[in-house]
A and B are shown apart, each in its own frame.
Chain A
Amino acid sequence: MAMEWQVFCKDTLTSEIVSGCLGSGRDSTYLNWIFKAWGWTVGVSLTALLVALLVGSIIGVIRTLPNSPWLTRFGNAWVELFRNIPLLVQIFLWYFVLPALIPAMKSLPSFVLVVLALGFFTSARIAEQVRAGIQALPKGQRYAGMALGFTTPQYYRYVILPMAYRIIIPPLTSESMNIFKNSAVAFAVSIPELTQFALQAGEETSRPIEIYLGVTVLYVISALVINRIMAFIEKRARVPGFVASGTGAGGH
């Protein structure tokens, strides 16, 4: 089967091959479009990762707080809720159900809704890692902080968290890569990211193989880049003698 890579140089409106492959102004080629879609994938993933790290850290920390049974229960309920419903269903909840129940959410752009869905879904998984990281530390570290007269926020801030974050970088790496892959689910609510591009452009050009290959390569490149960045961070931040084990199987 012959591949026709010129498909990427075609104008999206006239289907004529543009010399130089990149269109300008309003005439854009499929190459322009795929890069724009990649931008959306990266944008959605990185913003969702930020949300997930923030929320996941808070939930993870409150699940390990001493003498706060209700906070701990809330944290546990959060994790169970967000990891036992499929991501696609959660995206539908954020996109269709919540705006219908809470009128104020109707004005939110779909980018925000998808980022919240993906971020909260991943926050449950990151909360698990953060909790595991904190509990992997020897109890003595906590007591040492207390013995120094630190308050609870202080010994978390100065003793426990700096250690915990550094030892959970390996599992966080796979979560960051997962968030890129999971962002593909946003196609279902018409976010113009890579998978949505693949579906639309594959249909329009009747050359799905070339289009899917292009998209697949971009996903693989994204995963590799994230992996390298995290490996660099891990190397710089490694605590000798501490390796946190992941919680087993990962998501997709």
Chain B
Amino acid sequence: MNLDFSILNWSLIEGFILKGLWFSITLTIVATLGGILFGTILALMRLSGKKWLDVPAAIYVNGMRSVPLVMVILWFFLLVPFIIGRPIGAEYSAFITFIAFEAAYFSEIMRAGIQSIPRGQVYAGQAMGMTYGQNMKLVILPQAFRNMLPVLLTQTIILFQDTSLVYAIGAYDLLKGFETAGKNFGRPIEMYLTAAVLYFIICYSLSYVVKQLHKKIAIIR
């Protein structure tokens, strides 16, 4: 069969692709920021040394990590409207799911980051008379973030790829945009191919940037 990419013009991109691309990017950014925030809280809970904080956080993190993301997406799509008592769209449910799910993954990264800080730094902070909160905020977390930045960004790239899984609940993301365009113009093969190429270009360039950053941070350390 012959490939025909002639349908791929600006009006198609404007009409079908941009909306999906915008959603995928927003979802990635919101889930990364929310995931890092809640992930850091989970990591602090697990490192607190208090059983009543550690155990629930560990159950949450390990539970999320042993279930496929698609199942988690379906769960939240089903349960969130049930809990808040009114239907919400697939898009909003995707935001909540991804923040909740990625928090589990980011928490493991942050935990490793916090543990990578030499104990002496903690003692130094304590010797200066800092409280636990001050010590975390001023000494430990900034260094943990910097050390873990490449890993956090790698996880963000994986997250961007995973946004395509909102297909399961029919949210309109980048992949859905290409699929809809392909169906409407009778050229699904070309549209799937273009989607693959676009995802590749985005993820490859991002991982190149992360690699450069990794080198830079390796020098600082």
Contacts and interface: CB of A to CB of B under 8 A. Distances in A.
B8 interface: no
A89 interface: yes
A209 B165 contact: no
B68 A219 contact: yes
A103 to B, nearest CB: 8
Given A97-B192, A208-B78, A249-B154, A86 B71 contact: no
Contact of A80 (B101, B168, B188, B204): B204
Nearest to A222: B66
A92 B192 contact: yes
Interface in B132-173: 150-151, 154-155, 158, 161-162, 164-165, 167-168
Contacts of A188: 167-168
Contact of B71 (A92, A93, A184, A248): A184
A100 interface: yes
A199 B196 contact: no
Q: Is the interface of B mostly helix, strand, loop or mixed?
A: helix
Interface string B5-40: 000000000000000000000000000000000000
B100 interface: no
Interface in B90-118: 101, 105, 109
Given A88-B167, A92-B192, A181 B158 contact: no
B175 interface: yes
Nearest to B70: A184
Contact of B68 (A92, A101, A184): A184
A215 interface: yes
A215 B175 contact: no
Given A86-B164, A86-B199, A89-B199, A248 B151 contact: yes
B108 to A, nearest CB: 8
A181 B69 contact: yes
A110 to B, nearest CB: 16
B123 interface: no
A96 B189 contact: yes
B180 interface: no
B161 A212 contact: no
B196 A198 contact: no
Nearest to A183: B68
A93 B68 CA distance: 21
B195 interface: yes
Contacts of A187: 70, 168
Given A92-B192, A212-B75, A252-B162, A86 B68 contact: no
A97 B151 contact: no
B1 interface: yes
Contacts of B161: 84-87
Interface in A141-193: 177, 180-185, 187-188
Interface string A24-56: 000000000000000000000000000000000
A79 to B, nearest CB: 11
B185 interface: no
Contact of A97 (B164, B189, B207): B189
Interface of B: 1, 3, 63, 66-71, 74-75, 78-79, 101, 105, 109, 150-151, 154-155, 158, 161-162, 164-165, 167-168, 175, 188-189, 192-193, 195-196, 199-200, 203-204, 207
10 contacts: A84-B161, A93-B192, A96-B189, A184-B70, A187-B168, A195-B68, A198-B71, A212-B74, A248-B151, A252-B162
Interface of A: 80-81, 83-90, 92-93, 96-97, 100-101, 177, 180-185, 187-188, 195, 198-199, 202, 208-209, 212, 215-216, 219-220, 223-224, 248-252
